[in-house]
Amino acid sequence: MIVVGADGPGKLQVRDVPAPIGNGRALVRLERAGVCGTDLKILDGAMPVAYPVIMGHEMVGVVSRTGSQGRLPCGTRVLVNPGIHCRNCYLCDTDRPHLCRHGGLLGRDMDGVFAEQIALEEHFLHVVPDVIDPDASGLLQVLGTVVHSQQTVAVMPGSVAVVIGLGVSGLLHLQLLRAGGVDRVIGITRSAWKLDLATRLGALAVATPEDAAGVVADVSGGRGADLVVEAVGTGSTVAQAIELCGSGGEVIVYGTVTGEGGPMPYYQLYFKEITLRYPRAARPEDYDRAIALAASGRIRLDPLVTASFPLENAPDALAAARSGEHLKVLLTP
Ligand SMILES: [Zn+2]
Ligand SMILES: [Zn+2]
């Protein structure tokens, strides 16, 4: 079967390898896999991994052989929870399996999902109903992490929210805030077509980073945002998130800042008593909630898929994802 791996920084490899042996685990055949910024960072060497590694952590597929638990019959569509955990440690026992130190992320800490078939224990698989079409289902893993990120924030109908960065995750955050009853969401990016799309997906206002402070002041009556979601992953956008946030507000740093970051407005964090949240991954129940939200049609996933490539053309898919001209790029069987 075909797999796509990184053999070292900048070394992308499409290889033919033997299919996995189930060994009590379920076998899942690829339906869609999503290319993510994390995959690009792994390929660039910006994220510490042990090479070689099969990349990818965003996948939906079809069970092709039932695991020993016998819970999921052949033919069941499933979303893969790529956050492998031991189910037997302090963090797992206290409902934080996504932070388990004995597991890791598929495609980063262990071989991932850019493969025609993978073998996984059934408790990492979540049933996906047929009402969610194949391309849309390729976004469910990201939606799960977005759902997790917003799980604990105190959004109210009168809240003003800002989303910095309108890639896939930013546009999902925007829609989830709207679905949660936040009427005033401001989207921020440099890209004109992403600003248009954000408006169509429910943003009340949009702005470039340069105009953001003025627009947030207008919409919030000068008090600043109650919630800012940073969905870029750079030190400067985290700093801007803190600056746009009002007193008593919350900032979710959803983007992954690797390396040193940069100067931070620490005094503003203190003076405005800002709550900073740093979600890493989703819990199993976040994936079930994401699937239910997508199935209900309250979150639109289709407009966020802009390209797809067969698995063997992964180099083209990763180049497309890197170009900045796409939202989600998918791999297909
Ligand atoms: Zn991802
Ligand atoms: Zn554990």
Residues sharing a CB contact under 8 Å with residue 76, sequence separation 6 or more, in sequence order: 62, 63, 127
* Residue 143 C-alpha from the chain's centroid: 6
Question: Total structural domains in the chain?
Answer: 2
Measured from the Cβ of residue 102, the count of other Cβ atoms closer than 10 Å reads 12
Q: Quick one: 178 and 124 in the same domain?
A: no
Beta strands in the chain (DSSP E): 2-8, 11-16, 26-35, 53-54, 58-65, 77-80, 83-84, 104-105, 117-120, 125-127, 160-164, 184-188, 205-207, 225-230, 245-253, 275-277, 305-310, 328-332
Overall average pLDDT of the 309-318 stretch: 98
Whether 174 contacts 201, CB under 8 Å: yes
Q: Quick one: 114 and 214 in the same domain?
A: no
Q: Quick one: 206 and 320 in the same domain?
A: no
What pLDDT score was predicted for residue 152? 79
Span from the CA of 33 to the centroid of ligand 1 (angstroms): 10
What pLDDT score was predicted for residue 259? 77
Span from the CA of 103 to the centroid of ligand 2 (angstroms): 7
Q: Quick one: 263 and 186 in the same domain?
A: yes
Q: Quick one: 135 and 153 in the same domain?
A: no
Whether 198 contacts 174, CB under 8 Å: yes
CA dist., res. 15 & res. 285, Å (int): 34
Query: For the ranges 215-224, 252-261, 320-329, which has the lowest average pLDDT?
Result: 252-261
Q: Are strands 53-54 and 2-8 parallel, antiparallel or unpaired?
A: antiparallel
Place of tokens 């039932």: 66
Q: Quick one: 20 and 97 in the same domain?
A: yes
What pLDDT score was predicted for residue 330? 98
The residue from 245, 262, 277 where one domain ends is: 277
Span from the CA of 35 to the centroid of ligand 1 (angstroms): 7
Residue at 325 is within a domain = yes
What pLDDT score was predicted for residue 189? 97
What CATH number does residue 74 fall under? Answer: 3.90.180.10
Span from the CA of 215 to the centroid of ligand 1 (angstroms): 30
Span from the CA of 58 to the centroid of ligand 1 (angstroms): 6
Overall average pLDDT of the 52-76 stretch: 96
What pLDDT score was predicted for residue 157? 73
Q: Residue 76 belongs to what domain range?
A: 2-139+301-332
Whether 246 contacts 225, CB under 8 Å: yes
Span from the CA of 109 to the centroid of ligand 2 (angstroms): 15
Ligand with an atom nearest the CA of residue 96: 2
What pLDDT score was predicted for residue 262? 84
pLDDT of 16-27, one tens digit each?
999 999 889 999
Q: Quick one: 166 and 123 in the same domain?
A: no
